[in-house]
Chain A
Amino acid sequence: MSRLSELTHDWQDHSYAFLDEASKRELRRKILKAIAIPGYQVPYASREVPMARGWGTGGLQVTLTLVAPHDTVKVIDQGADDSVNAANIRRFIARVAGAATTTDTLRCTLLQSRHRIPEERLLEGQILILQVPEPEPLRGVETSSAASAVLHADADYGLMWLSLYEQIVRHRRVILGASYPVMVGGRYIMAPSPIPRWDVPMLHQAAHLTILSAGREKRLYAVPPYTDVRPLEFDDVPFRIEDQGGEVCYRTGAGHKFLNELPQDDGSSRFELSDSGYGEKLLRRQAGETVEIGATYYDERGGFYHDDLLR
């Protein structure tokens, strides 16, 4: 016979990692489904978290489900560890889960990100969690969710191809910047979240698991490791990453990396690395410290590490 005291635990302000066990179990079931069907949007309940919908609640719920006390968490917003949104999410996760935090891509076990993938390659076992505002890649060509679901079910992506074709006819190129549509595993068209085109190839045959979660839209989806993720392109109009124009980061001198443009008073521009954790490590190395810097997706001459993807 168990005693009542054995069946309960000491009083706590709230559950470990904020979400209650039932919510976490539901997310766990949905995450497994998402991994089994790469690119398919799995609906989930999307609970309340102490943050407004649209500020990364989807990513946060996945992180809170995955986190354990032994994890090390990195949170970035547009590549920066120190932006208000990233800093607050990171502090919240550390507070409710007791997890360590880092700005070093190599050291993190969980990486929650808004709109960027770091320049250093993620490794096996690391998990990238992307915050997604609009999970439905077909929203621009089909406004009805029910109709989009049928298009996905039938793999009927003619409308999507047509919209790319029309852009090329009108503008001579595909005018999509962030959230460039990709084909996952040769079956589902997926919105890779509003990462720049520069980051899209990083999802292809990656060593790490990526989970994308939209809290407001209540859907999550995943790209398992070593899965084909190919940006939509035509034989004669290949996919293009952003041209960095030969500019280099004014602080670190790094080139062939994704750069932020900083407008100057005199009308000119300066550029700096968008990935602040990587930039910080480069600066520390230049100051004479011994810093471990991982292999990057793009090398010093701009070559991508998989040679079968970018033409």
Chain B
Amino acid sequence: MSPINTAPVQTPLEARAHATFDALMRALSYPGRPQTLKLEDGRTAFAAIAEALLDLEVTAFSTEQSLEADLRATGAKLVSLERAEYVFMPHLTEAQLPLLQRVNRGSTLTPDDAATLVIGASFAEESLEPAQRLRLRGPGIQDSLEVRIGGLPLEFWRVREAVIAFPIGWDVFFVSGNQILGLPRTTIVEVL
């Protein structure tokens, strides 16, 4: 038997998936603090997140057809919104808000069944879009944290508050270019 003399190296895919997951984990651990994804030319953050988390064991849904090829490439099964474990909404419009009420929120017995949402937004400081000032509280946040998130219908925050009854509720990753911002169901959002 030959001993293992050298550590194996990460394949490019593994290195990418690891870096993306690391950013996702830190984004969810410290809600409201943007994390940067290392994106290769032409790849979107949505595709990178799908690559890091999705495979043939999970289900996904996208509001935009352009993303479906990226989701299919992971092996994930594209299903209806209600059944999807990962929901991608690159451009959340006012008209799409009712969709959020159909997303799986899990149950008190199995709150981990709830979906994870990946939603396009803008929170980069140089962004010119009007942004909503929010005050965040909850696990991962020391006292409170003020952030600005734009590119979303204002009504989004009311819908989110209405569907979350901890531990029931969904978790969100907001995507803005190569930046992500985590908002787990535990975060209490105050619209300022």
Contact = CB atoms under 8 A, between A and B. Distances in A.
Interface of A: 9, 12-16, 21-22, 24-26, 28-38, 40, 42-43, 66, 68-69, 94-98, 124-125, 149-150, 153-154, 185, 187-188, 205, 209, 224-228
B45 interface: no
Given A36-B184, A187-B166, A31 B7 contact: no
Interface in B139-192: 139-142, 166-167, 171, 184-186
Given A13-B4, A96-B4, A35 B53 contact: no
B109 A150 contact: yes
Contacts of A33: 112, 171
B100 interface: no
B8 A16 contact: yes
Contacts of B4: 13-14, 95-96
Contacts of A185: 139, 186
B95 interface: no
Contact of A36 (B11, B14, B28): B28
A36 B53 contact: no
Contacts of B116: 32
A21 B112 contact: no
13 contacts: A9-B11, A16-B8, A24-B17, A30-B112, A32-B171, A68-B10, A69-B9, A69-B10, A96-B8, A98-B7, A149-B109, A153-B107, A224-B28
Contacts of B15: 68
B108 interface: yes
Contacts of A40: 111-112, 167
A153 B108 contact: yes
Nearest to A38: B139
Interface in B98-141: 107-109, 111-112, 116, 139-141
Contact of A32 (B24, B30, B139, B166): B24
Contacts of B25: 28, 31-32, 35, 66, 209
Given A36-B186, A37-B111, A154-B108, 17 more contacts: A13-B8, A16-B14, A26-B57, A32-B53, A35-B184, A37-B167, A37-B185, A68-B18, A68-B19, A69-B7, A98-B7, A124-B30, A125-B26, A150-B109, A188-B167, A224-B186, A226-B142
Contacts of B11: 9, 16
B76 to A, nearest CB: 11
Nearest to A207: B142
A25 B52 contact: yes
A185 B111 CA distance: 15
Contact of B7 (A34, A43, A97, A154): A97
Nearest to B187: A36
Interface in B31-68: 52-55, 57-58
A224 B116 CA distance: 17
Nearest to A188: B167
Contacts of B184: 35-36, 224
A98 B9 contact: yes
Contact of A28 (B21, B107, B186): B21
Nearest to B106: A37
A32 B10 contact: no
Contacts of B30: 124, 225
Contacts of B171: 32-33, 36
What 7 pairs across the A-B complex have the smallest Cβ distances?
A98-B7, A36-B184, A227-B139, A153-B108, A12-B8, A224-B139, A153-B109
